[in-house]
Structure 1
Amino acid sequence: MAIGERIRFFRILRGMTQKHLGMTVGFPEKSADVRLAQYENGSRSPKADLTASLAEVLDVSPQALSVPDIDSYTGLMHTLFTLEDLYGLKVRELDGEVCLTVDVRQNKDAARLHEMLCSWREQAAKLEAGEISKEDYDKWRYHYPEFDKSQTYVKMPSQELNDMLVDIFTDEKVE
């Protein structure tokens, strides 16, 4: 789905008109609906700053708008082929159903994708079990990774600390 289609999807989901959304992101009232229509129909493509503004107004992550162009089945297949090459995505059969799996042994990116898919599955399971609402589930998806509590982030040390550690280990090797 192209960015224009995603803008339209979220605009309608939020119950906004093109004019309202256009004016909210700063277009003049006279041309707000025309400008938004140009982005939605793909005749214009928003720059990063406008994409960020649209995402903020639509209450989604900018990445939720800037998804790969998968408008056709062929485009979708090539996206999946790329995921196979880069992230170890594999097509398999399980109990007569076609499914996608991740070969975590392929590389660290495959392992990371597996973790991310497990987080997604966890949220979907909560929705299925009635532990969270569809609204909460959609909020998690459309703001990903902001609300993903399962991710672990590593804080990099300051340059000063890094230099100090290098000096300590260098000194130990000399002695």
Structure 2
Amino acid sequence: MATGKRIRFFRTKIGLTQKQLGEKLGFTGRTSDVRMAQYESEARSPKQDLINQLAQIFHVDSRALTVPDIDTYVGLMHTLFALEDMYGLKIKDIDGELCLCLDKSNTSFSSLFDMFSSWQQQAEKLEKGEISKDEYDEWRYRYPALDTYSKWARIPSQELSDLFTNENK
């Protein structure tokens, strides 16, 4: 989630208008809501000192407002938190194993379920030795071009390809 969307998310979460938030940050007059609208629409990028002020107002870590650096554990955690906010991703303990799950009540559930199911099928094929690690990586890195499971597919499934091939013999 981009910084502007995160600012809007937390602003609405605490019930402030753009004007009210702008005034809390010290912007005066008409500039208060215009400036916040620019940040939220990504027309302007807030500097780190403003991010820090926003974090204090929202009572969050400043990393919760920015695009996380997933090359760090804390950045990865903030990415997962953003995914929870945006897509209803949940963490659960299932038989002593921590699992990421989709929230069925979230509006994104259906689309994400199809995508995750497709990913799970490819991972299972890799685990069973039906495809190589290179084939699995090719599927992941070219997704959705090679996805034959869901509506995101851009190429025909193997079954459909075989059907066409057999019909034309």
TM-score by length of 1: 0.46
